[in-house]
Chain A
């Protein structure tokens, strides 16, 4: 299947960065000029809303709607708080996800241009990129791009004589997956422990330093210049179904040609898999996580699923980051689950009980199962955890995310898991079982 290159149109095969001159030669910063010249500060948001852009950070919330929650101070300038913020979530730590890294390394100005327009649209005066700590190459490239944009007058005071000013800074994270959760991210940016915040209040009401704030994913923001440049209709027409636009898809694990590609939203799962060469070594597909570690498994029965938000939702999973993790028919499911749950247990911030103490327990049960040390009742205990670590029961979406694949695993591969409990396990006394614990 042919790619539809929008976000990746400038990205070079060797991923060497497109610096500002090349970027402008290829039409870069035109959208910014258009936005500042042709749109009032409150007119960009509706355009994005009209285009139907949905957040690419995993939850798929309509971006234009999110922006519309930002308080406006145009008609009450003296009530304007000290700052209004845009924060770009570049914390990409979802297992199996490597899409933002590509666009930041390959085309850093696309993100910066998007951020300037987005800031203009939400009335922000300061913007931060919250970049995951390991992305040191991204950091160098983004910093150079920011400096270049400054030199050209796209950042700083009175951008292109529009009266609009923006400071843009880079913040390097010091690790921890939970920083990607937008409210935990704000805590981290404030120099605190990255513990999520309860919503409401949403960041638009009380965000960074208590000021109105919007948090968007890198890929989300990179869509913005294209929409401004080509219009909402064009954008909508890119998608195959209800959701407009293209999406970066990735594949890793047991595919023949792992990597990233850009397709219209709504592309069939089977076609995407095929693009990445199908299952390697001639094996068969056993299952896959469609969009990162927290999305429930899909199976060979789902190859016709249209890969957009509603399509994947309809089959009990989520599009997530659309970077799929694929495993073949020789992969024991217990290992996959153990690996995922280890990650989530390890990355819990430690704030709420179910997540902090429930996930390590889940991990231990899976370790036991894998080691042949399972006990009757373990599967039911896993079910119970799926139920009680679900949405609304924990403080944030981290633990429910962890339960996504586990729930699907228990659904699709229940017999395989049950079979791991040794037949004589029920004869073991509790003490023997405890002593036998490999941990």
Chain B
């Protein structure tokens, strides 16, 4: 059984204080843990569940519902490539194929060097600039295979 860091616990307690039922912070607790650890391991989830006062199963029910909670280790940079309609119309498929082949991974996988995890994501709200993706928290728009190569090179 691992313990969460003080910073994590404090952040979770803060979120708990914002709702009339502290259990409502279940989702935030997962996000806090993920922010600090990159992903949510079984042990970290159990520890977070204890802080919030819910059972691990309850937390798992929530964690596995939402796609932005990672229950498996991810690379240093998570690439989320928009696969929704506007990006689809503006060249998503080409960008997708290029990303997959240049990284040598499929959706849901992480490069062997642990640098990138590639995930599909639905509409990023960047539709006027598609194709679009996020790497970490940064949006990259108007993607082309060439742009993708330049962008990936920026990440360690």
Contact with A along B75-88 (1 / 0, CB 8 A): 00000100111101
Which one of B3-11, B21-29, B108-116, B145-153 contacts A? B21-29
- How far is B85's CA from A192's CA once the two chains are assembled, in angstroms? 29
Of the candidates B19, B62, B89, which one forms a contact with A253 in the assembled complex, judged by CB atoms under 8 Å apart?
A: B89
Using Cβ atoms and an 8 Å threshold, which residues of chain A touch B23? 190-191
Using Cβ atoms and an 8 Å threshold, which residues of chain B touch A259? 128
The answer to whether B125 touches A135 (Cβ under 8 A) is yes
In this complex, how many residues of chain B approach chain A with their Cβ under 8 Å: the count is 40
- How far is B84's CA from A193's CA once the two chains are assembled, in angstroms? 23
Asked if B103 is at the interface (CB within 8 A of a chain A CB), the reply is no
Using a CB-CB cutoff of 8 Å, which residues 290-338 of chain A contact chain B?
293, 323, 325-327, 331, 335-336
The answer to whether A339 touches B83 (Cβ under 8 A) is yes
Using Cβ atoms and an 8 Å threshold, which residues of chain B touch A176? 65-67
Using Cβ atoms and an 8 Å threshold, which residues of chain A touch B134? 134
Instruction: Give A140's nearest chain B residue, CB to CB.
Output: B137
In this complex, how many residues of chain A approach chain B with their Cβ under 8 Å: the count is 57
Asked if A420 is at the interface (CB within 8 A of a chain B CB), the reply is no
Of the candidates B21, B25, B61, B68, which one forms a contact with A175 in the assembled complex, judged by CB atoms under 8 Å apart?
A: B68
Using Cβ atoms and an 8 Å threshold, which residues of chain A touch B28? 171-172, 191
Q: Say whether, besides A83-B20, A174-B31, A325 and B125 are in contact (CB < 8 Å).
A: no
Asked if A209 is at the interface (CB within 8 A of a chain B CB), the reply is yes
Using Cβ atoms and an 8 Å threshold, which residues of chain B touch A340? 85
- How far is B80's CA from A173's CA once the two chains are assembled, in angstroms? 16
Using a CB-CB cutoff of 8 Å, which residues 87-127 of chain B contact chain A?
88-90, 121-127
The answer to whether A97 touches B89 (Cβ under 8 A) is no
Which one of A47-55, A88-96, A381-389 contacts B? A88-96
The answer to whether A293 touches B31 (Cβ under 8 A) is no
The answer to whether A339 touches B88 (Cβ under 8 A) is yes
The answer to whether B69 touches A253 (Cβ under 8 A) is no
Using Cβ atoms and an 8 Å threshold, which residues of chain B touch A94? 123
The answer to whether A209 touches B122 (Cβ under 8 A) is no
The answer to whether B89 touches A336 (Cβ under 8 A) is yes
The answer to whether B83 touches A175 (Cβ under 8 A) is no
Could you say which of B31, B89, B125 has the most chain A C-beta atoms within 10 Å of its C-beta? B125
- How far is B20's CA from A324's CA once the two chains are assembled, in angstroms? 39
Could you say which of B28, B65, B80, B90 has the most chain A C-beta atoms within 10 Å of its C-beta? B65
The answer to whether A325 touches B25 (Cβ under 8 A) is no
The answer to whether A189 touches B125 (Cβ under 8 A) is no
The answer to whether A134 touches B124 (Cβ under 8 A) is yes
The answer to whether B85 touches A169 (Cβ under 8 A) is no
The answer to whether A336 touches B19 (Cβ under 8 A) is no
5 cross-chain pairs, A with B, having the tightest CB-CB distances, nearest first: A174-B66, A258-B128, A252-B127, A191-B26, A175-B68
Q: Jot down 30 A-B pairs with beta carbons below 8 A, ordered by A.
A: A95-B123, A96-B127, A97-B123, A98-B125, A98-B127, A98-B128, A169-B18, A173-B66, A173-B68, A175-B66, A176-B67, A189-B19, A191-B26, A191-B28, A192-B26, A194-B66, A251-B128, A252-B86, A253-B86, A253-B90, A254-B89, A258-B127, A258-B129, A289-B85, A293-B85, A293-B123, A323-B127, A326-B89, A336-B88, A343-B83
The residues of A with any CB-CB pair to B shorter than 8 Å are 82-83, 92-98, 100-101, 132-137, 169, 171-177, 188-194, 209, 250-254, 258-260, 289, 293, 323, 325-327, 331, 335-336, 339-340, 342-343, 346-347, 349
The residues of B with any CB-CB pair to A shorter than 8 Å are 18-21, 23-28, 30-31, 52, 61-62, 65-69, 80, 83-86, 88-90, 121-130, 134, 137
